[in-house]
């Protein structure tokens, strides 16, 4: 934790993103997508097992939000977490090797897809119980306020989690105690196989904080710039000590809930329509080309660079050995200093 007690540090002002930053967004979103495609491939080959929830389609959310965070801000999310880790600056090698359950993974193979952490990057998981990250993230925000830092915690969760009772328990305390937390609801329209309309009496999830005096707004979660702009406002509010904020990111996942989900609850046309008209990567690509920030050649270079990173991580994840059998017994308890 780098935040110092007493007084806010000078934060860089959030301005309109410049060319380099925009290209960075494109690269980061592309990295997540190619990484996830590779993870899907490795899953099909039997190299990744268990649950594996891919983030394909939702890339703009995490990239847009992370763009305005400071190194000492914390991030916590649920089980669809690969994109969040890459966006938080964790290495693709470490994430992929955790997916394959190898020693080189972020949890030395003991966590898997849903449970990875990085103290260094202030990434606090990776939680498998739907909604659990909301009180946990609120607790991280509590620790910031307690210590007198001006760090903010971002707690990501889905439209499914937004029906969990503990979310509202956390909302209540966060607002009551003006905790520096931003709740980012990634509304990808389906809680596993149940559409939001079939699961939620109030489908406008940004309104879910009304009873707790937490303001919220709906954001086009497919537009990385809209996401960034909304996040800047919410994070500033939290950092300034004005309490929590809800951002409902309207987004979409292209793949099934997990690898075992054939996604029969929606039509192929519905998915295709989003892919063609609202794809976050394609939309930004068009903007970059239209503004002449990049040429087709530049984009190809980025694509090649990203593929190289992803292929390297896949290779690493296969070469890294399985954890030593002794690892079975380690990390159950922190050994007390005598």
Partner 1 sequence: MTDILMPALSPTMEEGKLAKWLVKEGDTVKPGDVIAEIETDKATMEVEAVDEGVISKLMVEAGTEGVKVNAIIAQLSAEGEAPKPKSNGKAKTAKVDAPAQAVAETAAPEQKAKNDGHRLRAPEQKVAAAEGLHDPTLPEGVTYKKTAVRDALRDAIAEEMRRDERVFLMGEEVGQYQGAYKVSRGLLEEFGDRRVIDTPITEYGFAGLGVGAAFGGLKPIVEFMTFNFAMQAIDHIINSAAKTLYMSGGQMGCPIVFRGPNGAASRVGAQHSQDYSAWYGHVPGLKVLAPYDAADAKGLLKAAIRDPNPVVFLEHELMYGVEFDVPEVEDFVLPIGKARIRREGTDVTLVAHSRMVKFALDAAEELAGMGIEAEVIDLRSLRPLDTETVIESVKKTNRIVCCEEGWRFFGVGAEIAAAVVEHAFDYLDAPPLRVAQKDVPLPYAANLERLSLPNAQDIVEAAKKVCYRETE
Binding site for partner 1 (CB under 8 A): 1, 74, 76, 105-111, 115-119, 124-129, 132, 134-144, 146-147, 165-166, 169-170, 172-173, 176, 330-334, 336
Tally Cβ neighbours within 10 Å of residue 9: 12
Strand partners, 123: 75, 118
- Rounded CA gap, 104 and 86, in Å? 16
- Which one, of 322, 333, 195, 174, lies nearest residue 265 by Cα? 195
3-state secondary structure of 247: strand
Shortest distance in whole angstroms from residue 242 CB to partner 1:
19
Shortest distance in whole angstroms from residue 82 CB to partner 1:
16
CA atoms within 13 A on the CB side of 126: 25
* Cβ closest to partner 1, residue 45 vs residue 328: 328
Size (the chain), residues: 338
* Cβ closest to partner 1, residue 60 vs residue 107: 107
Shortest distance in whole angstroms from residue 139 CB to partner 1:
2
Strand partners, 158: 186
* Cβ closest to partner 1, residue 45 vs residue 129: 129
Shortest distance in whole angstroms from residue 337 CB to partner 1:
8
Tell me how many degrees the CA angle 131-190-82 measures, rounded to the nearest 5. Answer: 60
* Cβ closest to partner 1, residue 143 vs residue 195: 143
Helix and strand element counts for the chain (H, E): 11, 8
* Cβ closest to partner 1, residue 164 vs residue 189: 164
Strand partners, 216: 246
Contact 29, 59 (CB under 8 A): yes
- Which one, of 247, 163, 155, 161, lies nearest residue 206 by Cα? 247
Q: Encode 44-70 in three state secondary structure.
A: HCCCCCCCCCCCCCCHHHHHHHHCCCC
Contact 123, 86 (CB under 8 A): no
Shortest distance in whole angstroms from residue 178 CB to partner 1:
13
The DSSP code for 9 is P
Shortest distance in whole angstroms from residue 211 CB to partner 1:
13
* Cβ closest to partner 1, residue 76 vs residue 196: 76
* Cβ closest to partner 1, residue 25 vs residue 316: 316
Shortest distance in whole angstroms from residue 176 CB to partner 1:
7
Q: Give the chain's radius of gyration (CA, Å).
A: 20
Strand partners, 248: 185, 218
Shortest distance in whole angstroms from residue 280 CB to partner 1:
30
* Cβ closest to partner 1, residue 181 vs residue 288: 181
Shortest distance in whole angstroms from residue 185 CB to partner 1:
17
* Cβ closest to partner 1, residue 110 vs residue 229: 110
Contact 115, 149 (CB under 8 A): no
């Amino acid at each position: 934790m780098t935040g110092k007690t007493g007084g806010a540090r000078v934060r860089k002002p959030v301005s309109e993103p410049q060319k380099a930053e925009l290209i960075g967004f494109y690269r980061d979103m592309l990295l997540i997508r190619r990484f996830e495609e590779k993870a899907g491939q490795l899953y099909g080959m039997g190299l990744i097992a268990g649950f594996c929830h891919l983030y394909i389609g939702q890339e703009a959310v995490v990239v847009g939000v992370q763009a305005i965070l400071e190194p000492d801000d914390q991030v916590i999310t649920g089980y669809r977490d690969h994109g969040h880790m890459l966006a938080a600056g964790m290495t693709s090698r470490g994430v992929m090797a955790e997916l394959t359950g190898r020693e080189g993974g972020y949890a030395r193979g003991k966590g898997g897809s849903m449970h990875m952490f990085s103290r260094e990057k202030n990434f606090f998981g990776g939680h498998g119980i739907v909604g659990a990250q909301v009180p946990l993230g609120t607790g991280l925000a509590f620790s910031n306020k307690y210590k007198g830092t001006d760090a903010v915690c971002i707690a990501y969760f889905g439209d499914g989690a937004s029906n969990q009772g503990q979310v509202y328990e956390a909302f209540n305390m966060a607002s009551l105690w003006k905790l520096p937390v931003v709740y980012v609801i990634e509304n990808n329209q389906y809680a596993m196989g149940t559409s939001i309309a079939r699961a939620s009496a109030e489908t406008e999830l940004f309104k879910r904080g009304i009873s707790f005096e937490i303001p919220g707004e709906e954001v086009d979660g497919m537009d990385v710039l809209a996401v960034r702009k909304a996040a800047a406002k919410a994070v500033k509010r939290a950092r300034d000590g004005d309490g929590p904020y809800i951002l409902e990111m309207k987004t979409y996942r292209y793949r099934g809930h997990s690898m075992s989900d054939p996604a029969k609850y929606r039509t192929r046309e519905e998915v295709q329509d989003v892919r063609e008209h609202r794809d976050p990567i394609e939309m930004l690509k068009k903007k970059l080309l239209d503004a002449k920030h990049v040429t087709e050649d530049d984009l190809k270079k980025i694509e090649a660079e990203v593929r190289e990173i992803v292929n390297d991580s896949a290779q690493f994840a296969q070469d890294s050995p399985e954890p030593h059998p002794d690892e079975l017994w380690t990390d159950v308890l922190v050994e007390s200093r005598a």
